[in-house]
Amino acid sequence: MAPRKNAASPNRSGVAKTTKTRSAKTAKPVIGTEIAEFDRDQEIAAYREMLLIRRFEEKAGQLYGMGFIGGFCHLYIGQEAVVSGIKLAMKDGDQMITAYRDHGHMLACGMTPRGVMAELTGRQSGYSHGKGGSMHMFSKEKHFYGGHGIVGAQVSLGTGLGFANRYSDNGNVSVVFYGDGASNQGQVYESFNMAELWDLPVVFIVENNRYAMGTSVSRASAQTDFSQRGVSFNIPGHQVDGMDVRAVKAAAEAALEHSRSGKGPIILEMLTYRYRGHSMSDPAKYRSKDEVQKMRSEHDPIEQVKVRLLEKGWASEDELKAIDKSVREIVADSAEYAQNEPEPDPSELYTDIVL
């Protein structure tokens, strides 16, 4: 049988849309090198958003140590600029899906700290009624589709969201987050193939925090430039400074426009770093304390914004302390709320079950 020269994807009317004959994409958009210009309000908003994620995760770690949170708990501390910058570039209706290091993504999408913390502590008022925990929360209202515990599984699901967007021709883009470890999963490449074959509006975000659980990327990956993992599928990819919220926003805007305009999928590799272990049970002995401290002192995403605000005279130390105080109060309220909410009624065992 001769190979097909054209691929077709259906739309809502049931009529196949014939796509162009596949050929190498030689003209790549220049992405990853630009820095978005933030005004004072944008810098303050980015500072507040990232600080909320940081303080929330610190409190979650504390509650885990106290026994209020069970199971697995993966903290996002250090990576705040990635999801914050990308959310700044997304439009209403665009979807987000990620893996299990997901609390920051939920907050960035506008899910309430109370609801997220209640789910972390297994309470009835949590987003999954106390049955999902840290790794399994969703909000259709906020276009957040999880939170997934299976490594790489969300990539296929996120590609499916992109297919739904193409099918209904709604102009939305699916933003799919996964880690450097998941980049080696076979289902990721199956998703790449389908997304490119049908020109699906999907932006693949690789959050490269340098360690897949406790294994450095240099020991686990033959090709450590994850932005180029789509080359064999003609998917363009770019590396981005994932510790600078301005660089993330600029890259995300260009990538989203690329996919939204019908040019198909694109990959952004966010070069970032997590300060804590893979999960709360990980002592992170595979790296030195000096390595972590160097990243904190030289590249911290929140401190970068703080320094710019102070140097430009856009905020005083007292004003920034006031923001931190208000964020801490929000987080403290979410923790108190969660600890005093009831656990799910046993009848919840029989809800949300598909037979």
- 34: domain CATH number is 3.40.50.970
**E strand or H helix that includes residue 308:** helix 301-311
Residue 6 lies in a domain: no
3-class DSSP assignment, residue 334: helix
Residue 306 lies in a domain: yes
| The pLDDT of residue 26 | 41
Stretch among 3-12, 25-34, 76-85, 270-279 having the lowest mean pLDDT: 3-12
Residue 2 lies in a domain: no
The pLDDT confidence band at residue 311, using thresholds 50, 70 and 90, is very high
The pLDDT confidence band at residue 3, using thresholds 50, 70 and 90, is very low
**Widest pairwise Cα distance in the chain:** 72
Residue 214 lies in a domain: yes
pLDDT digits (tens, 9 = 90+) for 237-265: 999 999 999 999 999 999 999 999 999 99
Residue 215 lies in a domain: yes
Instruction: Tell the residue number behind the tokens 């301005």, with chain if given.
Output: 246
Q: How far apart are CA 144 and CA 136, in angstroms?
A: 11
196 close to 263: Cβ distance less than 8 angstroms = no
pTM attached to this predicted model = 0.90
Residue 354 lies in a domain: no
Residue 350 lies in a domain: no
Residue 82 lies in a domain: yes
40-65 and 301-311 helices, crossing angle to 10°? 140
Number of domains in the chain: 1
| The pLDDT of residue 279 | 87
The pLDDT confidence band at residue 8, using thresholds 50, 70 and 90, is low
| The pLDDT of residue 284 | 87
| The pLDDT of residue 11 | 60
The whole-chain average pLDDT of the chain stands at 91
Q: How far apart are CA 89 and CA 252, in angstroms?
A: 6
Q: Which domain holds residue 166?
A: 30-337
